[in-house]
Every structure is written in structure tokens, then in C-alpha cells.
Structure 1
Amino acid sequence: MTQSRRLAVYLRSPVPGDTERRQASVLSRAETLHQQEFVDDISVTYWHRLSTGSDTAEAAEIAAMEAWAAEHDCTLAPTFDRHERHSAFLGDDSVVTLPVVCLAYYEDDDLVGVYPHAGPCGHCTVTDGLDRIESALRSGESLAQTGSHL
């Protein structure tokens, strides 16, 4: 049975020109992996600077990324910064400051890696993630089965 592989790219918008060029570079690399048939699908999601949890789909994606990090002894901080805030008009709530670019890699429906993150192997950027994913896929490895610490 063939395994389905998918990249989810998350981009903050709006961003300054230099940051937008960096985002475009990440998206281009992801699209190249798709064109070369290393991944079956790419999804691109644009998000704002802060997530308040009011968008339930976005909140579920962030929760899944945080669960992946906890399961793999990693942290998404400081690029995902969860904190409480107080407003005299809106009251207290919890918000997450979102990174300008984030990458999630799935094999079948399993979340296998989230970039950027920090873990036992140090800090892994989105570029590091793309390098590791590309290297594994070119060698025919399943990242989930190898136990590779993405």
C-alpha cells in the first residue's frame, strides 16, 4: 500500500517584503517536492499574527502541533508564544502569537513533524525541516517508521 504524504505550509499575513520573500522561498521548495512527486499534496494556510481560538479549525491545528511537540519531547516556543492577555473592554483570554512561517509534515493522516521547533536535537528551523524531509523522501524512507526526530 502506498503511503500518502502531505505538507501543510502556514504563512502569516501581512508581513514585510523581506519576510514575504522568505515565505515564498519555503513555498517554492514545498511545491518542488510536490512537482517531483515526493509529496502528494500541499496545503497553504494564511493566518494572522495572533490566534485567539475563535477560529476552531485553526485552534485544532495549533492544538495538534502542540500535542506533537509534547509527544516528541519538543517545544514550539518561542515561535508559538501562548500567553494570557487582559483587556478592560474584552476581558481576559488566551492567545497564541503565530510564526511567520510554519511547516507540518504528514504521512497518511499522522502528523510526523512540525517546524520550527526545539527539542533534544536542538532548534530546527523550517529550512532544516525541508532539508530533513527531502533527504528522507529521496532515500525512500518513511519518517514516521524510522523514528527520525523531525
Structure 2
Amino acid sequence: MPESTITAVCHVRAPLLLEPVDRQVETLRVCESDGTIDDLLLRSWPKEIALTDNSPYQESLESFERFGEWAGKQGVSIRPPFKKRTTTSQLSGATRELLVMPLICLEIYADDELVGVFPHTDEELEETYTTDEVIASLRTGELPTPLGSASEREASTESVADQQSGTDCPDCGDSLINGQGLFACSSCGWIGTLSETGAYVSQLDRRATQTSTVSPAEQ
């Protein structure tokens, strides 16, 4: 199976005057020349964009909406680095809503699939995946895994564990304790195993079945 084509789209405030941003862009260029990413696309946006229908920066606003949709599905937040604020004109009193754009933002694609938008934050874990971290991953040839993906795996693992520890005793309905495949009920003393069909089988029932199937010649 062929490897995915990795594309990094780097959005920066124009002009590029801050050294940290220059350094990150240069590292991305090195990644492209070394082949750890296949394509690097540079895009620029202003410091702030007025949220109006006739904004000249519709492409940047569409990018923000796309990032927000991805973050919502992933269970993470992109605010910050994106921020919204309002400003009021001292002359007319009119109020405008502005979208404050980050100094740098990366979107990473594997073929045509959006892998992640960076930086982003898992608010529940209070953890942020920074652009420095994702660039370091790309530098080593590793495709970054967004924070929400790890959270989903942990939640899935916890769900399976809860299901295993919260099973009901077939005799009294209380919770069973799983001891490496042998289930026991501390309330009524029921002990058994899980059959191939997913049903609980008492050890007494299993022994009775095994005894009844033994032929006289085998006894």
C-alpha cells in the first residue's frame, strides 16, 4: 500500500517579521527538502479580520470555519489561538466583531484528509499541542496525532473496562468481579465463565454438562 502524501499548509500573519515564526517556517522548508513532508504551502492573513459578508479575506474566514468544524469533531478547541473581540467606533458608535488571527497556524493533510489543525487545546486535559511540537514531529518523519484522538482512545479503553467490571450476576443481578476470565459474585457466591456466545455459564452447570457427556467406557 503506497504511503500517504503529507501536505503542510502554513498560515502566518503578514509580513513575517518575528524570528520565532521565521524559524518555524524555515524548519518546515527543511522538512520539505528532506522529504519528511511532500508539500509545503504558505498562506498569509492579517492580524484581525472584520466578520462581515463583504470581507476581502473570505478565504481566511473559510479556513477558520473549516478549522472549527474539525475541532468540533475532534473534541478540541482552536480558541485560542483564534480569538473574537468587538470594537466600537467613537465617531459613529457602530460596533464590529473582529476575528484575531494567530501568528502561525498549521493544517496537516494525509492525501486529501485533514489530519489536524495546530495549535489546538484539549480543554478537559488542559493540554495544548503547539506548532513547535508538530513541526518537531514532522522533522522526524512522524505524522502528528491530535490531542482528541488520544482522548477518544482512553475513553474507549475506560468504556470497555467499565463494561467488564460492571457485568451483572445471572442469579442475583449484582455486579460480577472479573478474575482473569473467571467471574464471581460477592453477594450470592455465583462463580462462572463467559461462553463463546457471550453468555455467562455457572461452573456447576459446566461440570454437570461435562459429566453427562462422558461415556461408560471413559468412566
Same fold (TM over 0.5): yes
> How far apart are the structure 2 equivalents of 1:44 and 1:6?
11
> How far apart are the structure 1 equivalents of 2:119 and 2:23?
15
- Which residue pairs with 1:102 in the alignment? 105
Deviates more, 1:88-97 or 1:108-117: 88-97
Q: Which runs of 5+ in 2 are unaligned?
A: 152-219
State the shift of 1:142 in Å.
Answer: 8.3
Q: Which runs of 5+ in 1 are unaligned?
A: none
Map 1:1-150 to 2 at 5 A. Answer: 1-14=2-15, 17=17, 20-53=18-51, 54=55, 55-87=57-89, 89=92, 91-119=94-122, 120=125, 122-135=127-140, 137-138=141-142, 147=149
Deviates more, 1:76-85 or 1:56-65: 76-85
Deviates more, 1:87-96 or 1:97-106: 87-96
8 Å CA contact retained: 2:121, 2:129: yes
> How far apart are the structure 2 equivalents of 1:130 and 1:106?
14
CA deviations 1:90-134 (Å, max 9, x no partner) are: 844432100111111111222211111111471111101212344
State the shift of 1:9 in Å.
Answer: 0.8
Aligned residues: CA RMSD: 2.6
Residue 94 of structure 1 aligns to a residue in which SS? strand
Identical-pair percentage? 17
Larger Rg: 2
8 Å CA contact retained: 2:137, 2:144: no
> How far apart are the structure 2 equivalents of 1:121 and 1:111?
23
> How far apart are the structure 2 equivalents of 1:122 and 1:91?
38
Return the TM-score normalized by structure 2: 0.56
Letter in 1 for 2:121: A
Letter in 2 for 1:4: T
Return the TM-score normalized by structure 1: 0.78
Letter in 1 for 2:48: L
Residue 19 of structure 2 aligns to a residue in which SS? helix
Deviates more, 1:76-85 or 1:97-106: 76-85
Letter in 2 for 1:78: P
Higher strand share: 1
> How far apart are the structure 1 equivalents of 2:92 and 2:110?
44
